[in-house]
Amino acid sequence: MEFKIIAPGGNEIEIVPELPVQLKKETLPFTETIIGKAEFGKMVFRNYKGDGFCIWYSNYLIKHDTEIKGRADMMVLELHIQFQNQFVIDWDQVGKNDLRPFQFNLTYTPFVNNWAKFMAGRDCHTFDIHFTKEYLQQLAPSFPLLSKFLDQVEKGQPGNLSEIDHFLSPDMIILVNQLLSCSFKKDVAKFYIEAKVMELLILAMDHISGNHILAPIKLSAYDIERLYEAKKILLSDFENKISLLQLARKVGINDFKLKKGFKHLFGSTVFDFQQSAKMEIAMRELKETNKPVEEIAYSIGYDFVSNFNVAFKKHFGFSPGYLRRK
């Protein structure tokens, strides 16, 4: 099936062979890579084809505000993960999707007709897995919500698995990075990637199903605003340690609501969220810069590089030194 990307005003998108420098250290192995260049910036699409699924790792390096249309006469069952920054995408028959960084959902549409709106100066990265119905049906008996969703798919009814978008858990972030950093040879990589994709899907279904059966937490518009402010503070200052009580006082809610509300809204504890964010920044710095490991460790709040090395390996399964040697 042909997939068409239409630039604003019908401007030409040139297919170029050279991968942008900032993306050369990011590897999804054994993929077909398509690089598009236009007046508004560059787009890089990497596609890995598995048994019953395919992975699309997409990078949008945008210089000017723009809207891009996508069309294809094909069914899409997509686990969409917004990995860095955000943009608005409007799916015909499904509606607008405005996932924040590290949010995900599972979407079905019988055909592709959408537009995406990007803001200038934002590099957006998405990690999507397209599944066949048969692949997802393996898990349907264990997840009633997925079973109900697949019944709607069978009837050709477009929509999302969950009414709300969910935040990746720290374990899910680790899995995505493990897939992007896979260094096995092709025959072994096939089994490794298949195992990681199934694990990621199980965690996603468990996360969504768990959030659906949890007792609802009453959060006012003010509470939600304060929780997003807490998230902003956690992401803006890694060098100075802050306790849960200090953070609660800073944003103007009690520590109980901060703890429970943060977990409900973002799918992670305050500590795990900040730790994952630190590790993501460290990963990006190690890949995209030549900064010494000691400097990176200090910038995210580690006084001793040995402690940083231990935390990094625990988070990703490999050391900073191993990543730099690749």
CATH number for the domain that contains residue 253: 1.10.10.60
Does position 212 have pLDDT exceeding 50, yes or no? no
Looking at residue 26, what is its pLDDT? 56
Residues 12 and 120 in one domain: yes
pLDDT: is 252 or 110 the higher one?
Answer: 252
- Residue 252 dihedral angles phi and psi, to the nearest 5°: 90, 30
Is residue 37 located within the same domain as residue 161? Answer: yes
Task: Say yes or no to pLDDT of 48 above 70.
Answer: yes
Total of domains in the chain: 2
Q: Is pLDDT at 217 greater than 70 in this prediction?
A: no
Which tens digits make up the pLDDT trace of 149-199? Answer: 999 999 999 999 988 888 888 788 889 988 988 888 888 999 999 999 999
The structure tokens listed for 164 are: 């709300």
**87 & 206 share domain:** yes
Q: Does residue 17 register a pLDDT over 50?
A: yes
* Out of 7-11, 65-69, 109-113, least confident range: 7-11
What span, in angstroms and rounded, lies between the C-alpha atoms of 5 and 22? 23
**Lowest mean pLDDT: which of 6-20, 56-70, 232-246?**
6-20
pLDDT, average across residues 252-264: 89
Distance CA 69, CA 118 (A): 11
CA 205 to chain centre: 15
CA separation, residue 278 to residues 78, 227, 271, 275 (Å): 28, 19, 11, 5
> Within this chain, do residues 16 and 69 fall inside the same structural domain, yes or no?
yes
How is residue 152 written in tokens? 């709607």
- Phi, psi (deg, nearest 5) at residue 243: -80, 165
- Whether residue 259 is found in the same domain as residue 238: yes
Same structural domain for residues 96 and 228?
no
Q: How distant, in Å, are the alpha carbons of 99, 131, 139, 175, 302 from that of 199?
A: 22, 14, 11, 8, 31
In the chain, pLDDT over 90 holds for what percent of residues? 32
Q: Let me know whether 30 and 178 are in one domain.
A: yes
3-state secondary structure of 198: helix
Please give the residue range of the domain that contains residue 226. 221-325
The Cα 274–Cα 169 span in angstroms is: 12
- Note whether 321 and 289 are same-domain residues: yes
Lowest-pLDDT range of 9-18, 85-94, 128-137, 295-304 = 9-18
| 193 and 125 part of one domain | yes
Residue 8, pLDDT > 70, answer no
